[in-house]
């Protein structure tokens, strides 16, 4: 059954090389016209260098002619775009090369599966068909062998199985027996004859006339021209040509269905080059780990500062007496000064404080501790609740009431065994004070745990009964009306006291601003370290790009093989992008682990640090994005390779 349109029709095909960059133009094919019908078994014979391989690359749509027309099943191939050509290679052709062109890192079965992978055949079906084909060619026992573990004859049979994977309507065999011993060569020829008898169109290229004689039709080529043709032999049965209406439509599997294939082959390549991969990953690992640790430290420190701020109040100012800059005696802050300061509109509270070491005694426990005399506003200023009892009030302060409130640790020191210290009498100096309350624990994390060791008495009672020698407040704790007025309050206090004292014999200490400044320093520190981490990621990304470019160069022939078996440009792009992302994913994971490890070490060493899940996810996402970004150029380079050039690479 011979159809009216020939399957393959070449008309005055020329293929020239050179002609640019000063190189003389060489015509390798010089006007080849040829027509081959479906089901024919054709041998193209000619001396080495006569242009046979060039012709085969053109027939198999791996290359385009310089001029002339190639019609496949009646359609002009020049009109086909890259995807449609890939479709033709996949659906119509099966290549068998002299050098087998198997992918060295993949097993026999995986090599055979490749054309079906690009045709979108489901994995299960692929595996079955590849196994069946290999079994039919006598390699049922060798499915999982790598090409390097097979003899030449066996490798050639694997490549024939691969050519048949998608049907192999047209088998293009370029010197298939050239590298084989005579016995294996005869086996391969027998296989090709069998395929021809089964209706496959077989185009066999050889320099050996005896081999060519086994075909039904022999075409002789010399210096790029056909010099003889034994003529078409009508074939009894022929496989139909592929449905040209579907050209280029072939569905590729969605990327997530080929992901395991891509990941598997990427993993294999990474593993083969594990030392190089590990070095490349170092940048990513360090980048991700440092992002995580830096952010954790930043967060931890910030938390600490916030706690300090909360315990101190974000509106607190301190007012001290001082020696004026121009010299002279130290200033004295009087209670009248306090009253005037408290009346300023920016200032909320002004609490005078006298505090010193005094001997405090209860029963047989006697200690020198800090006795803090101030007024009833202290719990409010320090945002400090009571654990037990109550704080003294304004009336008690005015009436010089001998009452005392204990800090958390002071309570433990004096009343270790007593469940309820309220109502007990403490001796401060030699004045008795009644315990009326216990403060809650201020805690280490607030950075003000020294407060826990103190006892607190009313200011007036303190002056009258404990600090008889101290006539005026030692310093004052002020609070501004609001956080936004802290600086204004400080300035107003300064101006007021300057007017009252006539010289700067005092000092306003803006505690809130200090904590804020510390927080800001910490923030900019975190930002800077984050920047270093980001730079490290960038360097890692460049490393990935470098190694991917190297990979593409090393595997150019593999890319050619994949293209010859029908890979689209986007399949190649996807593969190499997948590899880059996998590399960075592995690097990102190791980085996260390393970050956690380092952070835990620091935590144990006492550095305040808080891990954040979002920081970890962000670092991880950064790594993957780096892979995508820096893998894109190499992947694009790979996808843009010319199939013939790629195949010829060593
Ligand atoms: P054959 O397969 O018959 O031995 P080829 O088709 O491989 O011959 O090559 C035919 C001629 O074309 C040779 O002289 C070869 O040097 C030349 N040739 C092949 N490929 C290229 C190329 N990419 N650039 C320049 N010349 C080439
Ligand atoms: Mg050749």
Q: What are the beta bridge partners of residue 54? A: none
Query: In this structure, which residue's CA is closest to atom 21 in ligand 1?
Result: 17
* Per-residue CA distances from 273 to 49, 187, 539, 548, 631 (Å): 37, 37, 20, 12, 17
**Quick one: which atom of ligand 1 is closest to the CA of 207?**
3
Q: What are the beta bridge partners of residue 405? A: 437, 456
Cα separation of 82 and 98, whole Å? 25
Best mutation site among 54, 64, 65, 556 for ligand 1 pocket (most ligand atoms within 8 Å of CB): 54
Highest mean pLDDT of the ranges 15-29, 128-142, 375-389, 408-422: 128-142
**Distance from the alpha carbon of residue 175 to the mean position of ligand 2, in angstroms:** 7
**Quick one: which atom of ligand 1 is closest to the CA of 52?**
3
The reported pLDDT for the residue numbered 293 is: 86
**Distance from the alpha carbon of residue 106 to the mean position of ligand 1, in angstroms:** 30
What residue ranges do the domains of the chain occupy? 37-64+85-244, 262-306+517-648, 332-504
**209 is written with which tokens?**
């006339």
**Statement: residue 3 has pLDDT above 70:** no
Q: Work out the angle at residue 26's Cα, subtended by the Cα atoms of residues 24 and 27, and round it to the nearest 5 degrees.
A: 150
**Statement: residue 535 has pLDDT above 80:** yes
Highest mean pLDDT of the ranges 244-253, 371-380, 531-540: 371-380
Query: In this structure, which residue's CA is closest to atom 17 in ligand 1?
Result: 28
Query: In this structure, which residue's CA is closest to atom 22 in ligand 1?
Result: 17
Q: What is the share, in percent, of the chain residues with pLDDT greater than 70?
A: 96
Cα separation of 109 and 115, whole Å? 12
* Per-residue CA distances from 18 to 23, 68, 91, 192, 288 (Å): 5, 18, 32, 35, 49
Nearest one of 340, 246, 278 to 540, comparing CA atoms: 278
Query: In this structure, which residue's CA is closest to atom 6 in ligand 1?
Result: 51
CB proximity list for 633: less than 8 A, separation 6 or greater:
545, 549
Higher pLDDT, 301 or 43: 43
Best mutation site among 23, 27, 53 for ligand 1 pocket (most ligand atoms within 8 Å of CB): 53
**Quick one: which atom of ligand 1 is closest to the CA of 18?**
25
Cα separation of 39 and 198, whole Å? 8
**99 is written with which tokens?**
């050098």
Residues 619-643: what's their mean pLDDT?
A: 88
On whether the CB atoms of residues 28 and 16 are closer than 8 A, the answer is yes
Best mutation site among 20, 24, 43, 49 for ligand 1 pocket (most ligand atoms within 8 Å of CB): 49
Q: Which of 71-85, 513-527, 630-644 has the lowest mean pLDDT?
A: 513-527
Please provide the average confidence, as pLDDT, over all residues in the chain.
87
Q: Is residue 499 packed enough to be buried (19+ CB in 10 Å), middle (13-18) or exposed (0-12)?
A: exposed
| Helix axes of 569-604 and 556-564: crossing angle, nearest 10 degrees | 130
**587 is written with which tokens?**
């690097």
The β-bridge relationship of strands 225-229 and 475-480 is unpaired
Ligand nearest to the CA of 52: 1
Higher pLDDT, 445 or 345: 345
**Distance from the alpha carbon of residue 412 to the mean position of ligand 1, in angstroms:** 97
Pick the CATH number of 37-64+85-244 from 3.40.50.2300, 3.40.50.300, 3.40.50.620, 3.30.479.30: 3.40.50.300
Residues 188-209: what's their mean pLDDT?
A: 93
DSSP for 564-632, please give it: HTT--HHHHHHHHHHHHHHHHHHHHHHHHHHHHHHHHHHHHTT------HHHHHHHHHHHHHHHHHHHH
The reported pLDDT for the residue numbered 154 is: 93
Q: Is residue 246 packed enough to be buried (19+ CB in 10 Å), middle (13-18) or exposed (0-12)?
A: exposed
Please tell me the number of Cα atoms within 13 Å of 642 on its side-chain side.
7
Model confidence band, residue 482 (pLDDT cutoffs 50, 70, 90): confident
Q: Provide Rg for the chain, Cα atoms.
A: 44
Ligand nearest to the CA of 45: 1
Model confidence band, residue 144 (pLDDT cutoffs 50, 70, 90): very high
Nearest one of 648, 647, 646, 594 to 620, comparing CA atoms: 594
Residues 544-562: what's their mean pLDDT?
A: 89
The reported pLDDT for the residue numbered 312 is: 66
Would you give the distance in Å from CA 579 to the centre of its chain? Answer: 13
**Quick one: which atom of ligand 1 is closest to the CA of 56?**
6
The full length of the chain comes to 650
Model confidence band, residue 445 (pLDDT cutoffs 50, 70, 90): low
Model pTM score: 0.71
Would you give the distance in Å from CA 125 to the centre of its chain? Answer: 34
- Judged by DSSP in three states, 356 sits in strand
The β-bridge relationship of strands 431-439 and 425-428 is antiparallel
The reported pLDDT for the residue numbered 447 is: 65
Give start and end residues of each alpha helix (H) in 435-565. Answer: 459-461, 486-501, 511-554, 556-564
| Helix axes of 613-639 and 274-312: crossing angle, nearest 10 degrees | 150
Cα separation of 37 and 170, whole Å? 11
Structure confidence by residue, pLDDT tens digits, 174-185: 999 988 898 999
Residues 256-267: what's their mean pLDDT?
A: 78
The reported pLDDT for the residue numbered 159 is: 95
**Distance from the alpha carbon of residue 165 to the mean position of ligand 2, in angstroms:** 24
**Distance from the alpha carbon of residue 162 to the mean position of ligand 2, in angstroms:** 20
Query: In this structure, which residue's CA is closest to atom 14 in ligand 1?
Result: 49
Residues 571-594: what's their mean pLDDT?
A: 89
Model confidence band, residue 10 (pLDDT cutoffs 50, 70, 90): very high
Structure confidence by residue, pLDDT tens digits, 485-511: 888 898 999 999 999 988 888 888 887
The reported pLDDT for the residue numbered 1 is: 42
Higher pLDDT, 554 or 261: 554
The reported pLDDT for the residue numbered 518 is: 77
3-state SS of 44-78? EECCCCCCHHHHHHHHCCCCCCCEEEEEECCEEHH
Residue 33's CB is within 10 A of a number of other CB atoms, namely 14
The β-bridge relationship of strands 475-480 and 316-321 is antiparallel
Query: In this structure, which residue's CA is closest to atom 25 in ligand 1?
Result: 17
Long-range residue pairs from 423-429, CB within 8 A, at least 24 positions apart, any chain = 424/362, 425/362, 426/360, 426/361, 426/362, 426/455, 427/360, 427/361, 427/362, 428/358, 428/359, 428/360, 428/371, 428/404, 428/455, 428/457, 428/465, 428/466, 429/358, 429/359, 429/465, 429/466
Best mutation site among 16, 17, 645, 648 for ligand 1 pocket (most ligand atoms within 8 Å of CB): 17
The reported pLDDT for the residue numbered 156 is: 93
**Statement: residue 274 has pLDDT above 50:** yes
* Dihedral pair phi/psi, residue 368, rounded to 5°: -90, 110
Cα separation of 136 and 165, whole Å? 12
The reported pLDDT for the residue numbered 2 is: 45
Model confidence band, residue 310 (pLDDT cutoffs 50, 70, 90): low
The reported pLDDT for the residue numbered 444 is: 64
**Residues with Cβ within 6 A of ligand 1?**
17, 28, 46, 48-54
How far from each other are the two terminal CA atoms of the chain, in whole angstroms?
A: 43
């Amino acid at each position: 059954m011979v159809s009216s349109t020939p399957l393959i029709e070449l008309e005055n095909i020329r293929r020239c090389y050179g002609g640019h960059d000063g190189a003389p133009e060489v015509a390798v094919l010089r006007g080849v016209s040829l027509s081959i019908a479906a089901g024919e078994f054709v041998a193209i014979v000619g001396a080495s260098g006569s242009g046979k391989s060039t012709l085969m690359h053109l027939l198999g749509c791996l290359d385009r002619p310089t001029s002339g027309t190639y019609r496949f099943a009646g359609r002009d191939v020049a009109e086909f775009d890259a995807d449609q050509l890939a479709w033709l290679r996949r659906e119509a052709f099966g290549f068998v090369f002299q050098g087998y062109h198997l992918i060295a890192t993949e097993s026999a079965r995986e090599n055979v599966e490749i054309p079906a992978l690009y045709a979108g055949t489901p994995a299960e079906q692929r595996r079955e068909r590849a196994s069946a084909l290999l079994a039919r060619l006598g390699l049922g026992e060798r499915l999982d062998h790598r090409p390097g573990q097979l003899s030449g004859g066996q490798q050639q049979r694997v490549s024939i199985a691969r050519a048949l994977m998608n049907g192999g309507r047209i088998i293009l065999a370029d010197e298939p027996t050239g590298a084989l011993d005579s016995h294996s060569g005869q086996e391969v020829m027998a296989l090709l004859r069998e395929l021809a008898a089964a209706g496959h169109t077989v185009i066999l290229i050889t320099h050996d006339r005896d081999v060519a004689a086994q075909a039904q039709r022999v075409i002789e080529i010399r210096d790029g021209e056909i010099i003889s043709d034994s003529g078409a032999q009508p074939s009894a049965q022929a496989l139909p040509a592929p449905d040209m209406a579907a050209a280029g439509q072939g569905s590729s599997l969605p990327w997530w269905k080929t992901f395991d294939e891509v990941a598997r082959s990427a993993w294999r390549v990474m593993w083969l080059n594990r030392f190089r991969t590990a070095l490349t990953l170092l940048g990513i690992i360090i980048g991700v780990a440092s992002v995580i640790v830096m952010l954790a430290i930043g967060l931890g420190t910030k938390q600490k500062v916030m706690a300090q701020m909360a315990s101190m109040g974000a509106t607190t100012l301190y007012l001290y007496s001082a020696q004026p800059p121009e010299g002279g005696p130290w200033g004295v802050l009087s209670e009248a000064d306090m009253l005037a300061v408290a009346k300023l509109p920016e200032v909320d509270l002004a609490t005078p404080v006298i505090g010193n070491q005094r001997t405090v005694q209860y029963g047989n426990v006697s200690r020198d501790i800090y006795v803090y005399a101030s007024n009833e506003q202290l719990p409010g200023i320090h945002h400090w609740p009571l654990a037990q009892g109550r704080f003294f009030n304004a009336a008690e302060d005015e009436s010089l009431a001998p009452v005392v409130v204990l800090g958390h640790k002071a309570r433990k020191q004096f009343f270790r065994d007593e469940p309820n210290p309220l109502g007990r009498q403490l001796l401060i100096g030699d004045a008795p004070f009644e315990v009326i309350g216990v403060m809650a624990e201020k805690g280490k994390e607030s950075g003000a745990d020294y407060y826990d060791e103190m006892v607190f008495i009313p200011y007036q009672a303190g002056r009258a009964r404990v600090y008889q020698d101290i006539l005026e407040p030692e310093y004052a704790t002020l609070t501004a009306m609001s956080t936004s007025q802290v600086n204004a309050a400080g300035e107003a206090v300064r101006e007021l006291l300057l007017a009252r004292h006539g010289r700067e014999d005092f000092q306003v200490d803006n505690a809130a601003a200090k904590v804020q400044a510390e927080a800001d320093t910490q923030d900019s520190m975190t930002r800077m370290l984050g920047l270093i981490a980001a730079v490290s990621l960038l360097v890692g990304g460049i490393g990935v790009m470098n190694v991917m470019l190297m990979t593409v160069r090393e595997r150019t022939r593999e890319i050619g093989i994949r293209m010859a078996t029908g890979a689209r440009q986007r399949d190649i792009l996807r593969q190499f992008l997948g590899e880059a992302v996998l590399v960075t994913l592995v690097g990102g994971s190791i980085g996260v682990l390393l970050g956690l490890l380092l952070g835990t070490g620091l935590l144990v060493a006492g550095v305040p640090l808080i891990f954040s899940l979002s920081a970890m996810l962000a670092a991880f996402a950064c790594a993957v994005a780096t892979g995508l970004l820096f893998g894109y150029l190499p992947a694009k380079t790979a996808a843009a390779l010319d199939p013939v050039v790629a195949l010829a690479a060593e």
